[in-house]
Structure 1
Amino acid sequence: MPAPWFLIAQAAQALGRDDEADDALVRFLATEPRHLGALLTMAALKRRRGDDRAAESFYRTALSAASQPGATIAPALVPLLRAGETFLTEVAGRFSAHLDAALKDMPRAAGPRIRHALDLLLGRSELYLQQPSMFYFPGLAQRAYFEREEFDWVAPIEAATGAIRAELDAVLAAGQGFAPYVQTMAGRPPPANPLLDDPGWGAFHLWRGGVPVEPNATMCPNTMAALSLAPIPVIPGRSPMAIFSRLTPGTHIRPHHGMLNTRLICHLPLIAPDGCALRVGSETRPWHDGRMLIFDDSFEHEAWNRG
């Protein structure tokens, strides 16, 4: 009959014989490495003895075991699991403070890529990757946002913001031309989108299916000229596609993925009140009039107007 190592460990711990308890738990876990009670007992023992790194490891293993489908958790273990979660939060906080102190005098550590890497390491950010709904081209950069300064064509388009805004104002004053961005199409099943046929997300098309949309394009010559400065791919029947996009107050475009990871979406905000923002992956950015936002829409993204 095998020795009851877990019972021996509990007895040794009750008598204050931590070395014996540690030895007995090691022996028991060698045969039952996912025994929840033993993992929690070992974690608490390591923590009491000042070995936080070992305690962290045993708590993480215990929480992982407890989260598995079909896991049975005795009521007496629930507060021990909660204590483990609290401990891990405290450890993460101390580690975060340690890293911040160690890196504060290193200029390169202040860059966005390193900050993002540290946020992922510390659990402050979730990892998002390209997940296009239709076509994935492997080997491209996994970047949610691209910066305006990376492209020499952005500044000339931004410089035309005033002229573009004037044409938009004229379109809005005319009171026609905008239609729901997501529409029911004849002969097609309706998309499962809560904004289906909803004018809260409206579009005034300038280019569609690779051709200018009339009379819209003629109404907006400065906008069309500015669009010609961007390296928009020309694909017969598909591209360019360019619109004035309108998101009315209270409208929320729910999280979704674009069709392809072989393009970047560019927004030039023209009327951006407070409360408007775009989340791509783990990063949320507000819109600012005349400052382009460039992003890969194959990452999960959403947008809202809470103004």
Structure 2
Amino acid sequence: MRNLPALLAMGQNALRRGDERGSISWYRAALAQAAATGAPPQIQPLLQQAQASIAQSSQKFEDHLTSAIRDLPPLPRIAQATDLLLGKTSLYLQQPSMFYFPGLPQRAFYERSEFDWVAPIEAMTDTIVAELMAVRTQEAEFAPYVQTSMDRPAPNNPLRDDPSWGAFYFWQNGAPVADNSARCPAVTAALAHAPMPLITGRSPNALWSLLKPGTHIQPHHGLLKTRLICHLPLLVPDDCALRVGAETRAWRKGEMLLFDDSIEHEAWNRSSETRIILLFEVWRPEIGMEEREALASLFQAIDAFGPAQVDDGG
């Protein structure tokens, strides 16, 4: 066990010598020790001084670094790395809750321009919205997206069985929902452009996803790392957004968002109106046809052992 007063004294000595970075390392060690083992009352003022020194030094370092790189071109990866260095953002990595597939890049969002099948789907936005409005006029029910299953433990999700996060399925667990698809031929035609995984009993899932006013989908991770989730925004009021990892993007009607849902993500509707998107899944582009076929066989073997785990992500 480290001696707490000695750690603080080493930090003070380094500061007197002008070794500010050295002093901070000693002070951080002292604070970590105090957090782990506690500290007597007489030490508390010294710990507060250490915290103040760390905060002051961190601000000086940020000011120094910002000044040094001010004239560099705006490079997103440099900006993200700098924010990580300064502790202004956290590092978010892929953490699928069920299946990890190695060798894939750590990317939160993919860009629409990277996929030639996106534009044809986006071009159908207005037609899809017209179908949506017709279905809503007929008072079709949007079932809760997260539901309790009688043969599985209830998902640990505050929106379980709550229609505030609703779903109107066109594909569910690999099976087409014929009645809904027949009512919405534009949706069916649009989805035909997407490289959705076809895995019996599992994929694809494709639906209108509804988020009522004031609803917050809490931070969570999806089941798999082998897919991207796609959102085609249809009805999007202001003050609605999706955070994936350290990046937050707003939905804009007709502009698809594609993201890796194995990275921590959350979504919210802070407006007074309902948000609705077309949500579906596609294969990750880095996974070739041979591996896709092998993965489909693997997932079918997993599901043959027992029904798939409930997917409460999205």
Q: TM-score, normalised by structure 1?
A: 0.83
Aligned to 1:179: 143
Aligned to 2:56: 90
Aligned to 1:201: 165
**1:89 is aligned with what amino acid?**
A
Cα deviation for residue 284 of structure 1 reads 2.1
Aligned to 2:80: 116
**Alignment partner of 1:220 is 2:184:** yes
Q: Is the 8 A contact 1:266 1:294 kept in 2?
A: yes
* C-alpha RMSD over aligned residues: 1.6
Aligned to 2:267: 303
Q: 1:77 aligns with which of 43, 48, 53?
A: 43
3-state SS in 2 of match to 1:222: helix
Q: Distance in 1 between matches of 2:239 and 2:39?
A: 44
Cα deviation for residue 179 of structure 1 reads 0.8
Q: 1:170 aligns with which of 103, 124, 134?
A: 134
Aligned to 1:28: none
Deviations along 1:147-194, one digit per CA (max 9) or x if unpaired, are: 222222222222221111111111111111311111122333322222
**Alignment partner of 1:60 is 2:28:** yes
Q: Which has the higher contact order (CA 8 A, sep 6+)?
A: 2
Cα deviation for residue 200 of structure 1 reads 0.4
Deviations along 1:15-37, one digit per CA (max 9) or x if unpaired, are: xxxxxxxxxxxxxxxxx8x2111
Cα deviation for residue 75 of structure 1 reads 1.2
Name whichever structure is richer in strand by fraction: 2
Pair member with larger Rg: 1
**Alignment partner of 1:156 is 2:120:** yes
Cα deviation for residue 248 of structure 1 reads 0.2
Aligned to 1:103: 69
Q: Distance in 1 between matches of 2:152 and 2:29?
A: 49
Q: 2:9 aligns with which of 41, 53, 78?
A: 41
Aligned to 2:235: 271
Cα deviation for residue 246 of structure 1 reads 0.1
Aligned to 2:251: 287
The number of residues matched between the two structures is: 271
Cα deviation for residue 237 of structure 1 reads 2.3
Deviations along 1:231-257, one digit per CA (max 9) or x if unpaired, are: 112112222210000000111112211
Q: Distance in 2 between matches of 1:196 and 1:222?
A: 30
**Alignment partner of 1:190 is 2:177:** no
**1:61 is aligned with what amino acid?**
A
Q: Distance in 1 between matches of 2:49 and 2:26?
A: 13
Residues 1:168 and 1:37: Cα distance change in structure 2 (over 3 Å): same
**2:199 is aligned with what amino acid?**
I
Aligned to 2:93: 129
Q: Distance in 2 between matches of 1:267 and 1:82?
A: 47
Q: Is the 8 A contact 1:171 1:177 kept in 2?
A: no
Residues 1:155 and 1:102: Cα distance change in structure 2 (over 3 Å): farther
3-state SS in 2 of match to 1:254: strand
Q: Is there any run of 5+ residues in structure 1 with no aligned partner, and where? A: 1-31
The answer to which of 243-252 and 148-157 deviates more is 148-157
Q: Distance in 1 between matches of 2:65 and 2:121?
A: 41
Q: Is there any run of 5+ residues in structure 2 with no aligned partner, and where? A: 272-314
Aligned to 1:246: 210
Q: Distance in 2 between matches of 1:57 and 1:184?
A: 49
